[in-house]
Amino acid sequence: MHIHILGVCGTFMGGVAVLARAAGHRVTGCDAGVYPPMSDQLARHGIELTAGYGVEQLAQKPDLWVVGNVVTRGNPLMEAILDQGLPYVSGPQWVGEHVLQGRWVLAVAGTHGKTTTSSMLAWILEEAGLEPSFLIGGVPRNFGVSARLTGSPFFVIEADEYDTAFFDKRSKFVHYRARTVVLNNLEYDHADIFADLAAIETQFHHLVRTVPREGLLVVRRPDAALERVLARGVWTPLETFGDASGWHCQGEAGLVKVCHGATDYGELNWDLQGLHNQSNALAALAAARHAGVSIAQGLASLSRFQSVLRRMELRGTVRGIAVYDDFAHHPTALETTIAGLRTALRARDPSARILAVVEPRSNTMKLGVMKAALPGSLAEADLIFGYGAREGKDALGWNLAEALAPLGARARAFDDLGELCDAVVTSARKGDHILVMSNGSFGGIHQKLLAALALPQESSSS
User: Residue 124 half-sphere exposure, CB side, CA atoms within 13 Å?
Assistant: 30
Which pLDDT band holds residue 252 (cuts at 50, 70, 90)?
Answer: low
Mean predicted confidence (pLDDT) in 5-24: 94
Pick from 272, 273, 276: which is nearest to 302 by CA?
272
Which pLDDT band holds residue 360 (cuts at 50, 70, 90)?
Answer: confident
Q: What tens digit of pLDDT does each residue of 307-318 get?
A: 776 777 888 899
User: Residue 173 half-sphere exposure, CB side, CA atoms within 13 Å?
Assistant: 34
Q: Reduce the DSSP state of residue 403 to 3 states and report it.
A: helix
Query: What residue spans in the chain does CATH classification 3.40.50.720 cover?
Result: 2-92
Q: Which element (helix H / strand E) includes 409?
A: none
For residue 365, the model assigns a pLDDT of 73
Rounded distance between C-alpha atoms, residue 422 and residue 2, angstroms:
50
Q: What tens digit of pLDDT does each residue of 47-84 get?
A: 999 999 999 999 999 999 999 999 999 999 999 999 99
Q: Selecting from 3.20.20.80, 3.90.1300.10, 3.40.1190.10, 3.20.20.140, what CATH number does the domain 100-302 have?
A: 3.40.1190.10
Mean predicted confidence (pLDDT) in 358-365: 78
For residue 79, the model assigns a pLDDT of 98
Number of Cβ within a 10 Å radius of residue 348: 8
Q: Where are the beta strands (DSSP E) in 8-123?
A: 26-31, 48-51, 64-67, 88-90, 104-109
pTM: 0.81
Q: Reduce the DSSP state of residue 337 to 3 states and report it.
A: helix
Q: In this model, does residue 417 exceed pLDDT 80?
A: yes
Expressed in percent and rounded to 5, the helix, strand and coil fractions of the chain are 35, 25, 40
Under CATH, which architecture does the 313-454 domain have?
Alpha-Beta Complex (3.90)
346, 354 contact by CB (below 8 A)? no
For residue 139, the model assigns a pLDDT of 82
Pick from 299, 311, 249: which is nearest to 270 by CA?
299
Angle, CA 36 vertex, CA 309 and CA 7 arms, to 5°:
95
Query: What residue spans in the chain does CATH classification 3.40.1190.10 cover?
Result: 100-302
Under CATH, which architecture does the 2-92 domain have?
3-Layer(aba) Sandwich (3.40)
Rounded distance between C-alpha atoms, residue 280 and residue 245, angstroms:
17
